[in-house]
């Protein structure tokens, strides 16, 4: 278990931060940017959950994802590979966590009408909030992909998890729009009223 007795340590006042192992890094380091953006995603999901009162199943799902995102953050904050003789292996995102997201996507998408155009963020407050979380998840994914290109020991499952999470948030945003009935659809080259419904 994590035990936090002090909230500030002053060790970061020089613009560096400590990872789970290895030398300290600048706070603008790509690895720090990756797990920091995962943290941002988690905070946005916390905001989304303020709007899920009438959707307890989605609330429970987002709660599980918030916990998994701490795993993702820990994974990204731990560079390098474990010593084969290490007593406790590093916490890494596992395929079973990504597979869980895929099952949720399949379940919630089953009742949605096929899309006839791209969806604009909006509709209901929960849907709009989920779209914001989705776009930040995509940013976390892009940064993690860039990190993996310069630090090849980055866990590829972290990229897969973030990719799948953004897909799931898109589906949940449609569910939050009365199963797509309140979706706002993109109308190319038309600046009139936005069409509703999938």
Give pLDDT tens digits along the chain (198 positions): 556 566 656 655 566 566 677 777 656 689 889 989 999 999 999 999 999 999 999 999 999 999 999 999 999 988 877 777 777 787 799 999 999 999 999 999 999 988 888 999 999 999 999 999 999 999 999 999 999 999 999 999 999 999 999 999 999 999 999 998 888 888 888 666 655 665
Model pLDDT, residue 17: 63
Measured distance CA(167)–CA(170) in Å, rounded: 5
Neighbour-count burial of 136, counting CB atoms closer than 10 A to its CB (0-12 exposed, 13-18 middle, 19+ buried): buried
Which contacts (CB < 8 Å, 24+ apart) does range 56-59 have?
58/172, 58/175, 58/176
Task: For the chain, give the number of residues.
Answer: 198
What's the CATH number of domain 25-79+93-114+122-179, 3.40.50.300, 3.30.310.80, 1.20.1200.10, 3.20.20.150? 1.20.1200.10
């Amino acid at each position: 278990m994590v035990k936090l007795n002090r909230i500030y340590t002053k060790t970061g006042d020089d613009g560096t931060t400590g990872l789970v192992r290895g030398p300290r890094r600048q706070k603008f380091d790509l690895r720090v940017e990756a797990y920091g953006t995962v943290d941002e995603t988690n905070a946005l999901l916390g905001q989304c959950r303020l709007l899920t009162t009438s959707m307890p199943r989605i609330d429970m799902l987002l709660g599980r994802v918030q916990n998994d995102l701490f795993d993702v953050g820990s994974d990204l904050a731990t560079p390098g590979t474990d010593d084969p003789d290490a007593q406790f292996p590093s916490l890494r995102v596992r395929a079973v966590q990504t597979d869980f997201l895929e099952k949720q996507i399949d379940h919630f998408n089953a009742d949605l009408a096929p899309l006839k155009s791209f969806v604009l963020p909006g509709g209901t407050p929960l849907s709009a909030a989920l779209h914001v979380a989705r776009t930040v998840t995509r940013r976390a994914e892009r940064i993690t992909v860039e990190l993996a290109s310069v630090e090849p020991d980055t866990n590829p499952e972290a990229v897969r998890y973030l990719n799948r999470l953004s897909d799931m948030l898109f589906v949940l945003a449609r569910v939050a729009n009365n199963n797509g009935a309140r979706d706002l659809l993109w109308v190319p080259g038309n600046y009139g009223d936005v069409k509703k419904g999938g």
